[in-house]
Structure 1
Amino acid sequence: MTSETPDSASTGGRSARAERKNDHVRLASAQRGEEPNRSDFDDLEFVHHALDGTSPERVDLSTTVGDWTWATPFYVNGMTGGTDTTAAINRDLAIAAAETGMPMACGSMSVALDDPIAAKGFTVIRDENPNGFVMANLGAGRGPEDARRAVELLGADALQVHLNPVQETAMPEGSRDFSEWAHGLELIVAACPVPVVVKEVGFGLSRRTQTRLADLGVRFADVSGAGGTDFLRIENARSTGTDFSMLTGFGQSALACLLDAAESGPTLLASGGVRHPYDVVKALACGAHAVGVAGTFLQAVLDGGAEGLVEVVNTWKDQTRAVFALLGAETPAELTRTDLLVRGRLGEFCRLRGIDLEALSRRSEYRAD
């Protein structure tokens, strides 16, 4: 949830970075309190076939991501860590993940690598969730040794490497030189002891980017599209200098990235603007193997702690299973054979990118009996 721009190890450096971490949580939460706008998720509909349904008892929500099997098709996406305030948030997230069987990613661990005092804001995740699937998190500006240290610090099963060029562009202390990111990412993938999941931070991974990631050896990617927490707005709110609000609306949504996915690209996850279980189902139907949730789960923790998030997640499981049954899908993979109607802004994107919308609306006709 933060930039990889180095700070000094001085008290002043710690203070500035802690303030930034806490600012990100505060501003992200404030965005959640606003009236939600219509998103690309609302431009996607299922063709309703009234006799195609199945029983919720026959639905298996577990999903396969490469060699991993996750108990739920949604997971806690990377958010925060590194301060007393964010350590408490990570503790509650980890407790809820352990109790519900959800995978969990942490926020950027750069601060923990540069300042050992901040490490407890991340190690609390493994302390509270010793047997769960946990992802460490670093930015593309870090190196292979940092990747190994982050994985070791958290005992991580995978490493998220986030790409945040739009955020860095607007961030007051951000770095705007992205010329070595691809090469640096290739080095991280080669050296990392666990699989690497490359993710954006809310502006999407285009088809060309997905292809480039595959060429760099990346096997998994979270498209992390526009529509959720807006880090451009967050950094503009923090800035007292140059205003980059002219970039408002930049990037593509998660559904746009999934529908335009590269055939030979990485196994895809999705996040960005996921509001409820129906959005999870839509992302799965568009090809995501699992769906990351940040803002909604963060707010649940802020409102009710770990117990509040457990209650939300259990409700999501029940509702997701019910929607699967309504659509006649007994597994997440079967959702990719449902018929989709793509309208509005998302439909216009698909037409401009040459995506066959009629074929999407008739996918069930081609499924095996």
Structure 2
Amino acid sequence: MDHINYALSTGQGRETWLECVRFVHQALPGIDVADVSLKPKTGDLKLQSPVFINAMTGGGGQDTLQLNALLAKAAKETGIAMAVGSQMAALKDKTERDSYAIVRQENPDGIVFGNLGSEASVSQAIEAVEMIGADALQIHLNVVQELTMPEGDREFRGALDRIAQIAESIHVPVVVKETGFGISHETAEALNQTRVAAIDASGFGGTNFASIENERRQRKLAYFEDWGIPTAAAIVECREGFGRTVLASGGLQDAGDLVRAFRLGADAAGIAGSFLKRAVNLGEIGLIEEINALHEDLTMLMTALGARTIEEIRTSPVVISGELLSHLQQRGYGTSQFTVIAKN
């Protein structure tokens, strides 16, 4: 509950660099609104929508049980997937299981992601999946958050080997995600050598867990508050280093953010902070309205781009500028892929 309350009070940084991506308008898009399909290609994840509720809640007793129930009902109503927060709390304290299991109870046929940290063992991963009947398991990387957290972990050796072992041992796909500091090309390449099914880039620019944990410290570690790879750059880094499904998250708030993320290489996108705020302030109906409006806005934007599918957004010409352009150039990525001439 500390994390939820501080996430709501600190807000999102909006330093994603997505504003550095500008689409070249196509006055003859050549398609109708009815031609657009929002169903993405996400391999074994089998998502039906290109947007999902990302991990944030569970393990906080009755308060998080009620919040997860609300989120699960909204996910069921709108046909989107949902990830729970870290289930380690329930593995350590069985009384917390209900705050996660409620998600499957409220949405028995929906796509639900479990969640554990990279310290988890294979047996813990199996238990987490069984706890909620998970369709996939997120394994989160949060070194900076743990280092900033007063009671956080200080041992990170062997994480890649543990992730690889889990991906080989459990019967559902594994998604490796950051927690708001981004995944680099180097990390993506290392994960590409495992059986991990997807990477969630989870870049800098959204909820800042270093800032949140600093609120819980007597002596703040201010140097971590601007640490990380902004979301736009993290998506490209992951796409360049990983050959399977790439998910985007980290400060995404509207359909404009989503289409930019898809153009940079994401196959689908997770939203946490803005959905959380909507749920707390306006309840289940307000969140459902938000998700439905997001789907409608995506359809409108894709029509304007002449993109019938999420994959076709990647052929839309864009102009890359500012800090994102500088980052891509200094990291050795060409920009010709973003300047293609659209074919009607």
Q: Distance in 2 between matches of 1:213 and 1:87?
A: 33
Percent of aligned positions that are identical: 37
The 8 Å contact of residues 16 and 250 in structure 2, kept in 1 or not, is answered as no
In the alignment, the residues of structure 2 paired with residue 133 and residue 264 of structure 1 have an alpha-carbon distance, to the nearest angstrom, of 23
Instruction: Please report how far the alpha carbon of residue 184 of structure 1 lies from its aligned counterpart in structure 2 after TM superposition.
Output: 1.4
Of 70, 75, 87, which residue of structure 1 is paired with 2:47?
A: 70
Q: In the alignment, residue 46 of structure 2 is paired with which amino acid?
A: T
Mapping for residues 264-303 of structure 1, pairs under 5 Å: 264-303=242-281
**What is the root-mean-square deviation of aligned Cα atoms in Å?**
1.5
Q: Structure 1 pair 135/359, CA: closer, same or farther in 2 (3 Å)?
A: closer
Conserved? CA contact 1:225–1:254, under 8 Å: yes
What TM-score, normalized to structure 1? Answer: 0.89
Are residues 203 and 107 of structure 1, via their aligned partners in 2, closer, same or farther at CA, if it must alter by over 3 Å? same
Secondary structure of residue in 1 paired with 2:114: strand
**Equivalents in 2 of 1:69, 1:188: separation in Å?**
20
Equivalent in the alignment of 2:92: 114
Q: Distance in 2 between matches of 1:79 and 1:305?
A: 16
**Change in CA separation of 1:338 and 1:86 when aligned onto 2, cut-off 3 Å:** same
Instruction: Provide the residue aligned with 1:133 in structure 2.
Output: 111
Q: 1:210, 1:266 within 8 Å by CA — same for their partners in 2?
A: no
* Structure 1 pair 38–170 and aligned structure 2 pair: CA distance change class (3 A): closer
Q: Is structure 2 residue 235 aligned with structure 1 residue 247? A: no
Q: Contact 1:24–1:234 (CA<8 Å) still a contact in 2? A: yes
Which ranges of structure 2 fall in alignment gaps of 5 or more residues?
Answer: none
1:31 is aligned to: 10
> Is the Cα contact below 8 Å between 2:16 and 2:206 reproduced in 1?
no
Give the counterpart of 2:326 among 348, 353, 367: 348
- Taking structure 2 as the reference length, the TM-score comes to 0.96
Equivalent residues, number: 342
Secondary structure in 2 matching 1:173:
coil
Q: Residue in 1 aligned with 2:179?
A: 201
Give the secondary-structure state (helix, strand or coil) at the position aligned to 2:97: helix
Instruction: Return the match for 1:170 from 137, 148, 167.
Output: 148
Q: Take 1:216 and 1:363, find their aligned partners in 2: how far apart are those partners?
A: 36
Distance 1:225 1:53, change over 3 A: farther
Match in the other structure for 1:262: 240
Using the TM superposition, give the Cα deviation of residue 264 of structure 1 relative to its aligned residue in structure 2, in angstroms. Answer: 4.6
Q: Which runs of 4+ in 1 moved over 6 A?
A: none
Distance in 1 (CA, whole Å) between partners of 2:164 and 2:241 is 21
Find the partner of 2:292 among 293, 297, 314: 314
Q: Secondary structure in 1 aligned to 2:156? A: coil
Taking the aligned partners of 2:24 and 2:241, their CA distance within structure 1 comes to: 25
The equivalences for 1:183-194 within 5 A come to 183-194=161-172
Residue identity opposite 2:286 in structure 1:
G
Structure 2 counterpart of 1:65, one-letter code:
T
What displacement does 1:132 show?
Answer: 0.2
- Determine if contact 1:47/1:361 at 8 Å carries over to the other structure: no
Which residue matches 1:51? 28
Distance 2:281 2:290 in 1: 11
State the 1:38 CA deviation. Answer: 5.0
Within a 5 Å distance, the mapping from 1:142-181 to structure 2 comes to: 142-181=120-159
Contact 2:191 2:242 in 1 (8 A): no
Pairing 1:304–2:279 present: no
Deviation per residue, 1:158-202 (Å, 9 max, x gap): 000000001011000011211121121122112222110000000
CA distance in 2, matches of 1:65, 1:170: 33
- One-letter amino acid matched to 1:208: E
How far the C-alpha of 1:262 sits from its partner, in A, is 2.7
**Equivalent AA in structure 2 for residue 56 of structure 1:** V
Counterpart contact for 1:78–1:108, Cα < 8 Å: yes
- The alpha-carbon deviation at position 251 of structure 1 amounts to 1.2
Please identify, of 262-271 and 286-295, the stretch whose mean Cα deviation from structure 2 is larger: 262-271
Q: After TM superposition, list the pairs within 5 Å mapping 1:226-237 onto structure 2.
A: 226-237=204-215
